[in-house]
Chains A and B, each alone.
Chain A
Amino acid sequence: MVTVWCADWPVVAAGAAADVPAAVLVANRVVARTPAAAVAGVQRGARRRAAQGACPELQLHELDRDRDGRAFEPVVRAVAELAPRLEVGEPGWLTLLARGPSRYFGGDQALAERLHPLVVAATGSVGFGVGVGIADGRSASSIAARRAARTSSGVIVVPPGGSPDFVSPLSVGWLGELGEIDPELVDLFARLGLRTCGQLAALDGRDVLARFGVVGQHAHRLANGLDTRLPAAADPPPEWCVEHPFPEPVEQLETVVFVGKRLADKLVATLSGDGRVCTRLVVVVETEHGERNERVWYRHSGLSAAAMVERIRWQLEGWVAQPGGLSGGVALVRLVPDEVRSDDGVQGGFWGGRSRADHDAARAIVRLSGMIGDDGARVPEWTGGRLPADRFRWVPAATVDLDDRDDGGADRRPWPGALPPPSPMVVPPVPVPAELHDRAGQPVMVSGRGEVTAAPAVLIVAGSRQRVTGWAGPWPVEERWWSTGRSRRMARFQVVTEQGAAHLIGVEQQRWSVLATYS
């Protein structure tokens, strides 16, 4: 297989120049950056703030997958002129079968050296890493292409049968690079002392399968220079192919994509009914004048309906943008599942582990922020403190990565001086003024030594008198005594009144207030 890999494609597609520090973000994390930004210390996976800290003049772009797909089209066309049977994985990543073209151009090395300048010219930008890798399997050639992108020649050719030797000295981290193996598993391998692929490959495959399950078996196969799965030998039956002929040729792109969505849903429903998933899809579009655009899309984890629609859109937009691309309306859309395998459940969600509920909520939050301002929707963040109102603060949801929040348990450590649980369920943002009287109707006071002048008998909040049936305290708080403006000295009490309501009240400079209510 031949793999062509354009490193950091999203940032190339965003139109950034290689010598200007720029990065593309998804959910506040860097997914791609220019070589200049990499030199400045911007890492993939870094948070926005960390990236800007490393490089203050960093230009930031949001990820736009449609833009990536559109921008990749010239590259695909350029390669297709050399070898028409190619498969597009992601924007920036395409593969083709080596045998035919390599025989035609006089060997693997010649083919790779011919492809490389072609691809660099087609990307329309200089200075970004472009790699061409040729090896036996899809995975080995992908790794070769990624490594080649970091070399000056940009070409790595692994001789036939040499994939295991090529992969063997590499760090196990490369297994995670292709997106087929969970990074956590790779991390586990490293912690177990398996630092190179060769060390993992030397283990008995059955032992790896027994210990780590199917995912471990896939990792083991990759470490041996093999693909995670063998290519399907049988062609899918032709009746799985879905198509929609338009009685009237359609000019609008959106209409075609809309029909494509229906076809994709139908195809995915048919396949998933049998427990199958489509890994290679051929999308065919024909116009009323008989022009034809056909492209093969590949995704190792299988194409969901949404992923199919995305690819139909990329293909159409690329075709429309191509000079002399199509001359009339679209007359036919056809989806042909080219490779189908049983769905073994390793497939990740299209939204990268987000459920539909997460997606809906994120969208609703964006809408709410637009409706009532960024402060309108807020999420809690633990800050810690002795008083209930200090323990959490609300931060605007728009400034937070909603996919990467903890449940409030991880950071919370015991806070000396705070009251133990149960915590009050109602914490007014501003304490409510109150009065506490003893049996004789005199205000209850706390002396400098922390002694109560009399047992509390009546709590008066907003004019309503409630008889106190139980109380405990005082628990003193003395905070920031070193600061003149911010120091505070107060005593806390818990009181229960006759209706069964429990309050946390405090006295500060002889004034009582309700800090929180155990509602």
Chain B
Amino acid sequence: MTLADLHDPALRERSVDRLLPIHEAFAPALPGLQPGRIVGCSGPAAMSLAVAVASRAVVTGAWLAAVGVPMLGVEAAVELGVPLRRMVLVDGDHSPNAWVERVAAVADGFQIIVTCPPRGAERVLRKVRTRLQARGCVLVVVGSDDPGMSCDVELATTAVEWNGLGRGFGRLLARRCTVRVGGRRMPRPVELDLWLPGADGRVALASSVAPAERDDGFDSHDVWSQAG
């Protein structure tokens, strides 16, 4: 960055303070995606969560890069409302250093990255974080169960229930899941009850939000059965 670049209004506009929009189902927990942050998704619905979190920003013009996730279901992403014209798949790598290099190169031009980090990526996370913060890019990590991964925001699916499928009949229709939103930047974790997706194919809030219990003996299944 040179001094003259500071005069460039287009660059100024790309300030790190701007929030990327997020799907309104997540609104009770997150007002938006803070550029430069790392969002982790884990549990049995991790990939859907990651795409749902990113979808609204892509709709409003951001570019989405999927780094090292060749198994991403494109059709499902379309069903969650991701415009494919701004989605690019970038090959991942098994070595953490090569992964960092690629994420850094992608962060230069993309506003959202969905990635499955390779084993040992937590050692190089600090490097990634500096780059993300410099470029104002959001990293969505799928499968962040790794204890070494410290994400700014952590979305964990705790309870998942599928509707529509019986024993030998029916088909998968809708999924209701409890998502616990915590992480380093969330001092008070919040629990969301989401349709991911609902019977109409959309992501939606299923019921009101409960602040999550803080004690370690917390069992979301109990809350689920009482609420449901």
Whether both chains belong to one complex is answered with yes
How many Å from the CB of A506 to the closest CB on chain B?
Answer: 15
Question: Nearest-CB distance from B105 to chain A (Å)?
Answer: 6
Size class of the A contact interface (CB-based, 8 Å): 35 or more
Given A372-B91, A407-B84, A499-B160, CB of A269 within 8 Å of CB of B74? no
Known: A357-B111, A499-B160. A265 touches B9 (CB 8 A): yes
Assuming A356-B10, A365-B109, A494-B172, is B90 touching A392 (CB within 8 A)? no
CB pair B171–A519 under 8 Å, yes or no, is no
Per-residue CB contact flags for chain B residues 22-38 toward chain A (1 = under 8 Å, else 0) read 00000000000000000
Question: Count of B residues near A, CB < 8 Å?
Answer: 62
Known contacts A394-B70, A471-B168; A496 and B84 CB within 8 A of each other: no
- Asked if A376 is an interface residue, CB under 8 A from chain B, the answer is yes
A472 touches B88 (CB 8 A): no
With A and B bound together, what is the CA distance between A391 and B166 in angstroms? Answer: 27
**Residue in A377, A425, A502 whose CB lies within 8 Å of B90:** A377
Q: Which residues of B contact A376 (CB under 8 A)?
A: 90-91
B155 interface contact, C-beta 8 A: no
Residue B73 is within 8 A (CB to CB) of chain A in the complex: yes
**How far apart are the CA atoms of A427 and B77 in the complex, in Å?**
12
Number of A-B contacts (CB under 8 A): 184
Within 8 A of A (CB), among B7-26: 7-10, 13-14
- Which residues of chain B (40-88) have a CB below 8 Å from chain A? 44-48, 51, 61-63, 65, 70-79, 83-88
Residues of the A chain whose Cβ atoms lie less than 8 Å from the Cβ of B86: 358, 361
Question: A377–B58 Cα gap in the complex (Å)?
Answer: 18
Name the CB-closest residue of A to B10: A356
Indicate if A420 sits at the interface (CB-CB under 8 A). yes
Partner of B73, one of A402, A408, A427: A427
* A414, chain B: closest CB distance, angstroms: 13
A377 touches B88 (CB 8 A): yes
Contact B110 A364 (CB under 8 A): yes
Q: In the complex the two chains form, is A421's CB within 8 Å of B201's CB?
A: yes
Q: How far is the CA of A305 from the CA of B10 in the complex (A)?
A: 11
Task: Evaluate contact between A360 and B90: CB separation under 8 angstroms.
Answer: no
Among residues of B, the one whose C-beta sits closest to the C-beta of A364 is B109
Pair B111/A472 contact, Cβ less than 8 Å = no
Residues from chain A with a CB closer than 8 A to the CB of B160 are 499-501
A388 at interface, CB cutoff 8 A? yes
> B132 within 8 Å of A by Cβ?
no
User: When the two chains form their complex, are residues A472 and B72 in contact, meaning their CB atoms are under 8 A apart?
Assistant: no
Q: Are B161 and A500 in contact (CB under 8 A)?
A: yes
From known contacts A388-B75, A426-B71, A519-B44, infer whether A502 and B172 are also in contact, taking CB-CB under 8 Å: yes
B167 contacts the other chain (Cβ, under 8 Å)?
yes
Residue from the list B45, B73, B77, B165 in contact with A470, Cβ < 8 A: B165
Interface code B158-176, partner A: CB below 8 Å = 1, 0 otherwise? 0111100111111111110
Partner pick for B77 among A425, A471, A472, CB 8 A cutoff: A425
Q: Evaluate whether A380 and B84 lie within 8 angstroms (CB atoms) in the complex, with A425-B73, A426-B73 already known.
A: yes
- In the complex the two chains form, what is the Cα distance from A470 to B65 in whole Å? 35
Given contacts A361-B110, A519-B45, contact A420 B171 (CB under 8 A): yes
Contact of B47 among A266, A412, A519 (CB under 8 A): A519
- Is A120 in the interface zone, CB < 8 Å from B? no
Q: Are A471 and B165 in contact (CB under 8 A)?
A: yes
Question: Once the chains are docked, how many angstroms separate the CA of A260 from the CA of B101?
Answer: 35
The proximity string for A residues 495-515 relative to B, scoring 1 for CB distances below 8 Å and 0 otherwise, is 010011110000000000000
A472 to B78, CA, bound (A): 25
Give chain A interface residues in 196-226, CB to chain B under 8 Å: none
Is the C-beta of B197 less than 8 angstroms from some C-beta in chain A?
A: yes
What mask results when residues 187 to 201 of chain A are scored 1 for a CB within 8 Å of chain B, else 0?
000000000000000
Partner of A371, one of B13, B71, B105, B169: B105
Q: Report the Cα distance A421→B172, complex, angstroms.
A: 8
Q: Which of B89, B109, B170 has the most chain A CB atoms closer than 10 A to its own CB?
A: B109
Q: Distance (Å) between the CB of A6 and the closest chain B CB?
A: 32
Known A357-B63, A409-B78: A422·B70 in contact at CB below 8 Å: no
Cβ–Cβ contact A519 & B48, under 8 A? yes
Q: Are B88 and A423 in contact (CB under 8 A)?
A: no
B171 touches A419 (CB 8 A): yes
Contacts of A274 in B (CB 8 A): none
- Shortest B41–chain A CB gap in Å is 10
Give, as a whole number of angstroms, the nearest-CB distance from B4 to chain A. Answer: 5
- A379 in contact with B166 (CB, 8 Å): no
Inter-subunit contact A425/B85 (CB<8 Å) = no
Residue of A nearest to B80 (CB): A425
- A498 CA / B193 CA spacing, docked (Å): 19
Return the contact of B102 from the options A356, A361, A372 (Cβ within 8 A): A372
Chain B 185-208, CB within 8 Å of chain A: the 1/0 string?
Answer: 000000000000100010000000
Given A408-B84, A422-B79, A422-B201: A265 in contact with B7 (beta carbons within 8 A): yes
| CB <8 Å contact, B109 and A378 | no
* Residue in chain A with minimal CB distance to B157: A500
Any B CB within 8 A of the CB of A362: yes
Q: Which residues of B contact A15 (CB under 8 A)?
A: none
* CB <8 Å contact, A361 and B171: no
B108 at the interface (CB under 8 A from A): yes
Closest CB of chain B to A266's CB: distance in Å? 7
Which residue of chain A has its CB nearest to the CB of B45? A519
In the bound complex, CA of A519 to CA of B85 (Å): 23
Bound CA span A427–B163, Å: 21
Q: Is the CB of B83 within 8 A of A424?
A: no
Nearest residue (CB) in B for A501 is B44
Is the beta-carbon distance between A455 and B88 smaller than 8 angstroms? no
A-facing mask of B96-108, CB < 8 A → 1, else 0?
Answer: 0000011001101
Name the CB-closest residue of A to B11: A356
- Alpha-carbon separation in the docked complex, A376 to B173 (Å): 35
Q: Once bound together, how far apart are the Cα atoms of A409 and B84, in whole Å?
A: 9
Given contacts A372-B102, A408-B74, A425-B72, whether A361 and B168 have CB atoms under 8 Å apart is no
**Nearest residue in B to A373 (C-beta to C-beta)?**
B91
- Scoring A409, A419, A455, A496 by chain B CB atoms within 10 A of each residue's CB, the highest score goes to A496
**Interchain CB contact under 8 A, A406 and B84:** yes
In the assembled complex, the CB of B193 is this many whole angstroms from the nearest CB of chain A, namely 14
CB distance from A10 to the nearest CB of B (A): 26
Q: A357-B62, A391-B75 are in contact. List 15 more A-B contacts (CB 8 A).
A: A261-B4, A269-B9, A355-B61, A356-B10, A372-B91, A377-B90, A378-B90, A379-B87, A426-B72, A429-B71, A472-B168, A500-B45, A500-B162, A502-B172, A518-B172
- Provide 16 A-B residue pairs closer than 8 Å at the C-beta atoms, listed in order of the A residue: A356-B13, A358-B63, A360-B110, A375-B91, A378-B88, A406-B84, A408-B74, A408-B83, A422-B175, A425-B47, A426-B47, A427-B73, A471-B167, A499-B160, A502-B165, A518-B48
| Minimum-distance CB pairs A-B, first 5 | A364-B109, A500-B160, A408-B84, A361-B63, A407-B83
